[in-house]
């Protein structure tokens, strides 16, 4: 049996996991695809560096082109990250007829359509299951499992760092900054955590999921993004008191072929399954017209969960290779993208207002909502001892985003409203 030869770009945490699985599961892999898989060449930054896995030094190279242009390599597995040079490597590999498996969410979110078009042109596969939610097989599920259904909504916790922070704040009453510091010490958050905590990482993943789920090329700039850095322990305390948990959710919705995609801290009813997803775990909730509601839960990162997704993609590529059907999958994005306007995006909202403690204030506030046709589900007034102001909590019925923006703008000009402390979307 002729082996399938693989070039591995990157030998960090995930790359190491790929080597472990491929070399440790040879019998299982060969039984599935009918031939062994051999890692022929591996790109590293420093060949002399000590490794925590045994690997033949002759297989290591510091030059990516040794792998991209290697005549015997059939599949490129990219786990090096980055965008500029990485894109160049992948496009060149595809032009040479090599198939690609990647874990690179940034690359696929920003340049996915171009890369997939190049793959189609050269009859190559590009698979990227590991780019979203680590070990959860959500991309394959959306492409294959929902192929006969019509997806109307994808809602997910797709960033483990922010979920860890919000879980700790909820369970321990800790402050955002204290938990962020702990997350950095544990290695869950980078020294510069901006991409995670400001929602950018989640936005890239939601770009990929929305493109696949709605069959339209959703771009990163189409995603409305808000991070968790302004979430206070008071917000979480109020949420719990009202029966909610605060989660950073990516939400992609479609109605009558109109699409909206957002990432924001969201109050989720505690009875909703996604509210109980804690720590660094991820979960994706999918609403299909035929199947109804389904949830996919698991490890969203880590050496072996992510590597498992990569090797699963590798197996799929090799199976296609054996059948001679590489590059023949139908286009994932064949529909015209039509984005919702703010008037067409609706949800419930939670507002925490600090207002003057005097007669008639509540009536003035509720009148503002009425003026913009926003109906209210509940209103709670919290007195603050020895303070000339009170806190008012409002939960609205479904309201469109444009109307809510007008309500908030009006509150800015009302002398009785001292501060709009918090505004959150409400789900479940």
- CA distance linking residue 324 with residue 43, whole number of Å: 28
Nearest Cα to 62, choosing from 37, 45, 50, 82? 45
Over its C-alpha atoms, the chain yields an Rg (Å, rounded) of 24
Of the candidates 207, 195, 289, which has an alpha carbon nearest to the alpha carbon of residue 251?
Answer: 207
Roughly what angle, to the nearest 10 degrees, separates helices 160-172 and 233-241? 70
H-helix segments, 173-302: 176-185, 194-197, 200-214, 233-241
Q: Can you tell me the distance from the alpha carbon of 304 to that of 17, in angstroms, rounded to the nearest whole number?
A: 5
Sign of the four-CA dihedral 253, 258, 262, 265: negative
The DSSP element (H or E) to which 116 belongs, if any, is helix 105-121
Strands (DSSP E) found in 291-375: 292-299, 346-356
- Backbone φ and ψ for 215, nearest 5 degrees, come out as 60, 35
Residue 41 annotated to the active site: no
CA angle 10–13–17, rounded 5-degree value:
90
Decide the pairing of beta strands 258-269 and 417-427: parallel
Could you give the CA distance from residue 357 to residue 384 in angstroms, rounded to a whole number? 9
Q: Are 275 and 269 in contact (CB under 8 A)?
A: yes
Closest CA to 368 of 399, 398, 410, 396: 410
Structural contact between residues 133 and 160, judged by C-beta atoms closer than 8 angstroms: no
The dihedral formed by the CA atoms of 25, 28, 29 and 31, expressed in degrees to the nearest 10: 160
Name the active-site residue from 41, 205, 247, 401: 205
Catalytic residue list: 205
């Amino acid at each position: 049996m002729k082996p399938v030869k693989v070039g591995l770009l990157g030998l960090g945490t995930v790359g190491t996991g790929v080597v472990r699985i491929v070399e440790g599961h040879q019998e299982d892999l060969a039984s599935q695809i009918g031939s062994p898989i051999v890692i022929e060449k591996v790109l590293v930054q420093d060949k002399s560096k000590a490794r925590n896995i045994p690997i033949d030094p002759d297989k290591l190279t510091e030059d990516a082109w040794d792998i991209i242009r290697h005549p015997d390599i059939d599949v490129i597995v990219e786990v090096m990250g980055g965008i500029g040079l990485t894109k160049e490597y992948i496009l060149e590999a595809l032009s040479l007829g090599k198939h690609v498996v990647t874990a690179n969410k940034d690359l696929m979110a920003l340049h996915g359509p171009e890369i997939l078009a190049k793959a189609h042109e050269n009859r190559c596969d590009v698979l990227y299951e590991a780019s979203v939610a680590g070990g959860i097989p959500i991309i394959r599920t959306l492409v294959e499992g929902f192929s006969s259904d019509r997806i109307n909504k994808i809602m997910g916790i797709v960033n483990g760092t922010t979920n860890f922070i919000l879980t700790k704040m909820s369970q321990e009453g800790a402050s955002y900054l204290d938990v962020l510091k702990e997350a950095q010490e544990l290695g869950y958050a980078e020294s510069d955590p901006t991409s995670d905590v400001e929602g950018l990482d989640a936005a890239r993943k939601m770009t990929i999921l929305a493109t696949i789920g709605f069959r339209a090329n959703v771009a990163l700039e189409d995603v409305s993004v808000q991070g968790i850095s302004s979430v206070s322990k008071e917000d979480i305390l109020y949420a719990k008191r009202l029966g909610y948990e605060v989660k950073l959710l990516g939400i992609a919705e479609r109605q009558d072929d109109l699409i909206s995609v957002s990432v924001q801290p969201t109050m989720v009813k505690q009875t909703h399954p996604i509210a109980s997803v804690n720590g660094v775990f991820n979960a994706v909730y999918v609403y299909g017209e035929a199947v109804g509601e389904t949830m996919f839960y698991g490890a969203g990162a880590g050496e072996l969960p992510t590597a498992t997704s990569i090797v699963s993609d590798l197996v799929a590529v090799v199976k296609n290779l054996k059948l001679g059907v590489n590059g023949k999958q139908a286009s994932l994005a064949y529909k015209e993208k039509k984005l919702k306007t703010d008037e067409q995006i609706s949800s419930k909202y939670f507002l925490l207002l600090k207002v003057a403690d005097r007669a008639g204030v509540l009536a003035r506030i509720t009148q503002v909502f009425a003026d913009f046709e926003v109906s209210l589900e509940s209103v709670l007034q919290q007195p603050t001892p020895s303070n000339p102001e009170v806190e008012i909590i409002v939960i609205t019925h479904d309201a469109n985003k444009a109307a809510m923006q007008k309500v908030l703008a009006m509150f800015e000009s009302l002398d009785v409203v001292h501060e709009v402390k918090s505004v959150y979307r409400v789900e479940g």
